[in-house]
Structure 1
Amino acid sequence: MSFIRASPWWSLHASFIGIPCRLCLDLVRRTLDLWRQAGTATVGRNSIVHALTIETRWAIRIADDLRRAGHTLDGVLKEVGLVRTDLATPEDRILYAAYVGLIERAAVLLGDPGYGLKLGASYGVRDIGLHGFIALNSPTLGDALASIERYVRVTNEGIDAVFEADGDGATLRFREADASLRGLRHNSEQAAAQIVRGARELTRRKVTPVRAEFMHERPNERIDYEGILGCPVKFRAEWDGVVFSKETLRLPVIGADSKLLRVLQSACRKIIGPVPRKHDLIHSVREYVVQRLAKGAVPLDDVARRLGMSSKTLERRLRERGASYRALVEDIRRDLTERYLADTDLRLQQIAYLVGYSEPAPLVRAFKRWTGSTPMQYRARRRKP
């Protein structure tokens, strides 16, 4: 929607006051149509967790950055399982895992350790789709941030968001629904910068958060967190998140339209239903396995007990979904290993431990079976600009 980005944000915002906005209602219609057309997910390497989707508007922006820097898109997109036609319009949907791979790969190719932050700071509230328009028409900044927990899945199924209030303020926490994707830096930093930029745009104030929190380690490179986020940063947190004071949360959203807000909320409820969607069984299995792998192999019996069923019942329900426990564990180990190799500087021994092996040798054998190359060959290939 380049025509939205090209318009001054204050002039487009004025069109929301008192009258239905044609652009906004047209976006509602297109979003509803695309959700109705969405097919069911497959399993295996494209299991239900991997099949969580995100609107292509973010990937289109990344592709534009790569193109401007002189990179050939076809090869980069192929690495993450995409083709050019996947990025046809901002309201189309792609796999969330593919988007995460694209932003992390783009940061390497562009040679920019602060790419995620800069990307997030470049998004206006209207650039983020339907739930952005709900924020634009919420009474206060606190209401706008709280709406993200309820409606973010309209445009991005890959994120879990929680708005937690306490006596001093509130925190908007977010992390990947697929636990194997958590802790990748540029995606997390993009989201935090986008939240801060949005808070300032909604209130027309230079809002300063109390703190930003990230699950990933502090990067070795020098990153301008203070300049973009305007606040201290905590690393190795349980969730990514941005903390705001109660005074900041009370700031009004300038130009909000309560009538339009009700229309938008009704449209979003039609998309996501009266209550948030429950995670699929495969998602629950993956979630538990990812959390436990660093402690060693995760027996099927442990997972079944955690989910409140017998091992035989769990195996049967997985078969009904075209999956098996052994294949899921293999998928998780492969996913995690590939991400640790591509996006961290962890030694092979550390990676082996994190994915449930007691030593590197069995991981090397498994990785050759998965990819046809050694872990170090894979890392060198992914790190090559």
Structure 2
Amino acid sequence: MQDYYSTLTGWMIPISRAMEAHGIDAVQALDECNISLDAVSDQESRIAAEKFSLLIEYCNKKLARHDFSILVAKQFHPGIFHALGYAMMSSNTLHDALERIAHYKRVVSNSCQLINHEVNEQLVFEMNIFTYESTNRPVLSQEIVETFLATIVRFSRELVTLKFAPEKVCFAYPKPSYDLSYLAVFFNCEIEFDSHHTAIIFNLKQTKEKLMCGNPLITHSHEKMLDEFMARVDKSDLTHVIKNKIFELLPLGAPSQTEIAEYLGMSLRNLQRKLHDQGTSYKEILESTRKKLAMNYIVQKHLSLSEIGYLVGFSSVGNFNRAFKRWTNQTPGDYRHKNKA
């Protein structure tokens, strides 16, 4: 079961850079942590999360300190997250970027669940870490969680400003006995251990400010790559396999559930049962896919509203207008006009 929980090898980009900057022999480190050199050279390969924990622990021991997690985050590179990193970098707002990593988090790792929720004037980026069934031990060590949350904050600073800081960082882990000042210095906010959750708490207004680097066309192209990648990573996840096929077929009209079942080589009843087991339905998947595409297309000024309707599988502008109003409580024209403003 320990090998079931895995992490993308893209993490080796900042980890190897941090090792090099602090005089740690990367080849020796990988060998001692039983990590294959061939595996880390493949950007789509995955490594057991347990081995990454061992690697961070190894580096801390080599340096006789506890802050290697922060040293890794300071070496941030969007390639850590595969195409997701570049999709996040071209997001319209930090809020959008955090939503993307929550949606596509399985690209990075299957060891936790990421959830964004708004509470009063705050955005809570929460990390629900899975546990091993046999021992109830968290799959991710505190050092790995520190590395991930610090990387998210470093990424946020790349998007917003290098002085950007969250309002609070919470860890559900017990407070360690060693000096934790490195966390306070890096995050530049309140740090809480023994919390009821592991999360970064942002100022909601800040996360919704428009970013100069936003580019919906680039984001959309990377999201198509991500859906294909996720279908390869976990072919048993019907939702992403179906979304990928819907993306392909929508310009020809919305595919029927029967067509999708035939494509997957299963009966319609079997498809419906499997989707029900995953807590969804074909109608919900089609609706969410159309909405997501439409929201990406609507801010691309070179596309007319009728073209967008066609691209998301509607046979008439009227049908597209009604669907868009159902999604946003605005007509496509009104939404585009307000977005321009």
What TM-score, normalized by structure 1, do the two folds share?
Answer: 0.54
The amino acid across from 2:169 in the alignment is A
Matched to 1:111, the amino acid is A
Structure 1 window deviating more from structure 2 (85-94 vs 197-206): it is 85-94
- Give the C-alpha shift of residue 126 in structure 1: 4.5
Displacement after TM superposition at 1:159 (Å): 3.1
> Which residue of the other structure, out of 64, 77, 85, is the alignment partner of 2:38?
85
Q: Does 1:269 align with 2:227?
A: yes
Q: Distance in 1 between matches of 2:210 and 2:19?
A: 37
CA-CA distance at 1:202 after TM superposition? 0.9
1:252 corresponds, among 190, 210, 214, to 210
Give the counterpart of 1:219 among 173, 176, 187.
176
2:86 aligned partner: 133
1:235/1:65 CA distance change after superposition, 3 Å: same
How far off its partner does 1:141 sit?
0.9
Does the aligned pair in 1 maintain the 2:111–2:129 contact within 8 Å?
yes
The match for 1:242 among 171, 181, 200 is 200
Distance 1:139 1:216 in 2: 33
- The aligned residue for residue 209 of structure 1 is 166
What is the CA deviation profile of residues 11-61 of structure 1, one whole-angstrom value per residue up to 9, with x for unaligned ones?
A: xxxxxxxxxxxxxxxxxxxxxxxxxxxxxxxxxxxx3x5223222122354
CA distance in 1, matches of 2:205, 2:89: 19
Q: Cα distance, 1:257 vs. partner?
A: 0.9
What is the RMSD of the two structures over their aligned residues, measured on CA atoms? Answer: 2.7
Asked if residue 187 in structure 1 is aligned to residue 144 in structure 2, the reply is: yes
One-letter amino acid of the structure 2 residue matched with residue 256 of structure 1: G
Q: Which residue of 2 aligns with 1:57?
A: 10
Q: Establish whether residue 146 from structure 1 lines up as the match of residue 99 from structure 2.
A: yes
Higher RCO structure (Cα 8 Å, ≥6 apart):
1
Report if the CA contact (8 A) 1:130-1:155 is conserved: no
Q: Percent identity?
A: 17
Q: In 2, Cα distance between the equivalents of 1:73 and 1:245? A: 38
1:64 to partner: Cα distance: 4.9
Query: Which runs of 5 or more structure 2 residues have no equivalent in the other structure?
Result: 238-341
Aligned counterparts of 1:271 and 1:73: Cα–Cα separation in 2: 28
Deviating 4+ runs (over 6 angstroms): 276-279
What amino acid is the match of 1:202?
A: L
Distance 1:138 1:73, change over 3 A: closer
* Structure-2 change in CA distance of 1:237 and 1:277 (3 Å): farther
Say if 1:51 and 1:79 are closer, same or farther in 2 by CA, change over 3 A: farther
Name the aligned partner's letter for residue 76 of structure 2: Y
Question: How far apart, CA to CA, are the structure 1 residues paired with 2:75 and 2:68?
Answer: 11
Distance 1:73 1:203 in 2: 32
Shift in Å at residue 231 of structure 1?
A: 0.5
Native 8 Å contact 1:107 1:186 kept in 2: no
Cα displacement string for residues 252-302 of structure 1 (whole angstroms, at most 9, x for unaligned residues): 2222111121222222223335xx9989xxxxxxxxxxxxxxxxxxxxxxx
Q: CA deviation at 1:116?
A: 0.8
Residues 1:243 and 1:278: Cα distance change in structure 2 (over 3 Å): farther
Structure 1: any 5+ residue segments left out of the alignment?
1-46, 280-385
- Cα separation, partners in 2 of 1:111 and 1:205, compared to 1, 3 Å: closer
